[in-house]
Amino acid sequence: MPTKRILILASALLFIALISSCDDLKSESGSNKPKARGGHGEILLVIDSLKYKGPLKDALENVFEEDIKGLVREESIFDIRKVDPRTMTRILKMAFNIVYVTTFDDNKPGSRMINAQFSPQSKEKAMEDESLFMIRNEDEFAQGQEVIYLFGNTEEELVRNLQKNKGKLQNLFEVRERNRLSTAILNRRNGAAEQKAKEKFNLDLSIPASYQFVKEEDNFMWLRQPTPNTQRADISLFFYETDYTSEEQVFPENIIPFRDQILKDRIFGDPDKPNSYLKTETTIIPSFRDIKVDGKYALEIRGQWRTNNISMGGSFLSYIVVDQKRGKLYYMEGFLYYPNETHKSALREIETILLATKFPEAAQ
């Protein structure tokens, strides 16, 4: 199906209210369109092959191919496939995520193909406002698809906007991928585990049916997928609750000792070997980020773990959440064991599950 001309004037003001300096346009989604396809975390980057160089190449890589923090090996947050506009086929246009990149001063053949989709009015508006750099166009070629157009009057202008809006662009696709994965992994859930969490912590958790109980205490619960294999990581989830008494509890320098204290008496690489308890691997510096979980302040931690006897190791992703009204502090974590394989798909699964948590007020 040919690409519809992109009309910015009608939608610019509405979308600026949603994402600063951006335009939003939704194409009509007809039932006759095929369903979008593609692996989780994949983005098709459409740009003239000769344009992908220099500062623009660096800026695009910094947005879409930034390394995930806290990992031993380099793994980018998204899997990027670069395509010249002249080689776009009907199959490629069915990709789940597509990003077109161009500048209006570029006369290269591939850029001219992309620029032809913009109306004269839209180019004039971009000339007047250099902060306009993006259009979202949902379901343009396929159902369930996200198509992004990144543009600028010049490369220098586009690079500035990419650098300024890096976090917004990454979050757009991260949220989209979490929603997509949530549909896949949370269609069947462990109702018994969710009920136990409700009774124990007064939390509404979303636990896939593949996770089963390993251990529970008054303020602690550990679940794990029992059948990991070469195609799937060994993932565990655990939840811990304690009293919130001081802001210092969520200072980064205090969180790692707190985490190790939780693990030392509860989680072991080999239950028959008490010396195999889990601990934080400090040779890889953990990464911290402020975030919100169900509207509450939280701190995200990404890092590496190992057993005390150095027999096993892997990655972890956790959230420490403060509930000031109830005077409670929640620690939620997913850790995985998947030697010699990439970890980002498993980490995205952990992220999807944990960020679906609902806290007491919202649950009521």
Distance CA 135, CA 40 (A): 22
Average pLDDT, integer, range 183-204: 93
Domain assignment present for 3: no
Q: Are residues 97 and 167 in the same domain?
A: yes
Q: Are residues 174 and 222 in the same domain?
A: no
Domain assignment present for 4: no
The angle at the Cα of 175, spanning 174 to 179, to the nearest 5 degrees, equals: 120
**Which of 142, 159, 184 represents a domain boundary (last residue)?**
184
DSSP 69-100: TT-SS--BSSEEEEE-GGG--TTGGGBSEEEE
Q: Are residues 157 and 196 in the same domain?
A: no
**Which of 136, 166, 184 represents a domain boundary (last residue)?**
184
Average pLDDT, integer, range 212-231: 88
- Please list, in sequence order, all residues whose beta carbon lies within 8 angstroms of the beta carbon of residue 216, skipping any fewer than 6 positions away: 196, 200, 222
- Residue 212 clears pLDDT 90, i.e. is over it: yes
* 267 confidence band (pLDDT: 50, 70, 90): very high
158: three-class secondary structure by DSSP: helix
Distance CA 154, CA 148 (A): 18
Domain assignment present for 1: no
Residue-wise pLDDT for 105-158, tens only, equals: 999 999 999 999 998 888 888 888 989 999 999 999 999 999 999 999 999 999
* CB atoms closer than 10 angstroms to residue 127: 11
Q: Are residues 270 and 208 in the same domain?
A: yes
Q: What is the CATH number of the domain that holds 339?
A: 3.40.1000.10
Q: Are residues 147 and 203 in the same domain?
A: no
Please tell me the predicted confidence (pLDDT) of residue 311: 85
Q: Are residues 56 and 93 in the same domain?
A: yes
Q: Are residues 196 and 328 in the same domain?
A: yes
How much of the chain exceeds pLDDT 70, in percent?
Answer: 90
Burial of 69 (0-12, 13-18, 19+ CB in 10 A): middle
**Which of 184, 208, 223 represents a domain boundary (last residue)?**
184
Q: Are residues 178 and 205 in the same domain?
A: no
Q: Are residues 94 and 116 in the same domain?
A: yes
| Mean pLDDT for the chain overall | 89
Residue-wise pLDDT for 170-191, tens only, equals: 999 999 999 999 999 999 999 9
Nearest alpha-carbon partner for 259 in 320, 211, 200: 320
Q: Are residues 212 and 170 in the same domain?
A: no
Domain assignment present for 292: yes
Q: Are residues 31 and 49 in the same domain?
A: yes
Residue-wise pLDDT for 4-20, tens only, equals: 444 333 343 333 333 33
Report pTM: 0.86
Give every strand in the sheet of 146-150, ordered side by side: 23-24, 134-138, 146-150, 97-101, 42-46, 79-83
Q: What's the structural domain count of the chain?
A: 2
**Helical segments of 101-165, H only:** 109-115, 120-128, 155-164
- Note down the domain range covering 74: 12-184
Average pLDDT, integer, range 51-61: 97
- Residue 297 clears pLDDT 50, i.e. is over it: yes
Residue-wise pLDDT for 323-332, tens only, equals: 888 899 999 9
Distance CA 219, CA 240 (A): 6
Residue 170 tokens, joined: 């990454």
* 31 confidence band (pLDDT: 50, 70, 90): low
Domain assignment present for 359: yes
- Residue 44 clears pLDDT 90, i.e. is over it: yes
Q: Are residues 159 and 58 in the same domain?
A: yes
Nearest alpha-carbon partner for 322 in 333, 331, 314, 335: 331
Residue 3 CA: distances (Å) to CA of 89, 138, 330: 12, 12, 48
